[in-house]
């Protein structure tokens, strides 16, 4: 592992920690919504700060790769950009949810479905953090971490489809509310897809070592 890789991987590990915190805070926001709380401002501010710090790390990594002209690495550049996709606009999804004028009953069938999706989402954040840690410290374990991300991504897809089908069959909720809820769920599903793309980019790097 050369010095450029060490520097990039260290920043990616820091970035993945921020992503993990963001995913957990998104879980807090959605849980608060499901339980009828109305003030998400504290969580939204945390998410915005995590995104801001993550963007700083992305810029540092882009500068590091760009400065090493003689050692230009498209695989590292791809990984840096894929990581940026993971943390894109979590705050926006949280703000959208805070504007949904609907409080589900405690017995509402959407609640366990949404909570299952949240739980998988949080596990994805932890898996991504572990992957970046292994990439910088123990590449032999990084391949296994990639596999764990793939498994969670498949689970998230299934949970999203279940929630999607459930909400579309609800005739007691205005369509506008359904679309808003699905927008948030879709954001989670897409963020996990981006995590799987990060894992694919890591596999390319592993193949060169």
| Residue ranges of domains in the chain | 3-206
pLDDT averaged over every residue in the chain: 88
Residue 4: the pLDDT is 77
Give dist(CA 36, CA 158) in Å, integer: 26
Q: Reduce the DSSP state of residue 46 to 3 states and report it.
A: helix
Residue 122: the pLDDT is 96
Q: Is 48 exposed, middle or buried (0-12, 13-18, 19+ CB in 10 A)?
A: middle
Give dist(CA 133, CA 50) in Å, integer: 18
- Average pLDDT, integer, range 44-67: 84
Percent of the chain with pLDDT over 70: 96
Give dist(CA 62, CA 130) in Å, integer: 22
The tally of CA atoms less than 13 A away on the side-chain side of residue 110 is 23
Q: What is the CATH number of domain 3-206?
A: 1.20.58.220
Residue 69: the pLDDT is 47
Q: Which residue has the higher pLDDT, 137 or 111?
A: 111
Residue 98 to residues 75, 95, 107, 178, 180: CA-CA distances in angstroms? 38, 5, 21, 14, 10
Confidence of residue 191 (pLDDT cuts 50, 70, 90): very high
Answer whether residue 148 shows pLDDT above 90. Answer: yes
With 0.95 as the threshold, say if the pTM is over it: no
Residue 1: the pLDDT is 65
Residue 47: the pLDDT is 87
Confidence of residue 70 (pLDDT cuts 50, 70, 90): very low
CB 91 within 8 A of CB 54: no
- Sole residue written with tokens 């999607």: 164
Answer whether residue 71 shows pLDDT above 70. Answer: no
Residue 89: the pLDDT is 66
Q: Which residue has the higher pLDDT, 100 or 134?
A: 134
Residue 15 to residues 57, 69, 77, 85, 134: CA-CA distances in angstroms? 6, 24, 15, 12, 14
Give dist(CA 207, CA 56) in Å, integer: 28
């Amino acid at each position: 592992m050369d010095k450029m890789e060490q520097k990039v991987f260290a920043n990616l590990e820091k970035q993945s920690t921020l992503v993990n915190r963001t995913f957990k805070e998104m879980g807090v926001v959605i849980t608060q919504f499901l339980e009828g709380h109305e003030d998400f401002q504290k969580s939204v501010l945390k998410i915005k700060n995590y995104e801001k710090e993550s963007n700083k790390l992305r810029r540092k990594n882009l500068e590091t790769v760009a400065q090493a002209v003689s050692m230009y690495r498209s695989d590292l550049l791809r990984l840096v950009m894929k990581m940026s996709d993971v943390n894109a606009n979590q705050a926006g999804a949280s703000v959208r949810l805070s504007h949904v004028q609907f409080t589900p009953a405690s017995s509402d069938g959407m609640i366990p479905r949404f909570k299952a999706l949240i739980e998988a989402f949080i596990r994805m954040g932890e898996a991504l953090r572990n992957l970046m840690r292994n990439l910088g410290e123990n590449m032999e374990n990084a391949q296994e971490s990639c596999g764990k991300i793939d498994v969670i991504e498949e689970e998230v897809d299934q949970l999203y489809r279940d929630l999607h089908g459930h909400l579309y069959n609800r005739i007691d909720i205005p369509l506008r509310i359904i679309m808003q809820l699905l927008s948030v769920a879709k954001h989670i599903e897409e963020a996990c897809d981006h995590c799987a793309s990060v894992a694919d980019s890591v596999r390319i790097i592993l193949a060169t070592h």
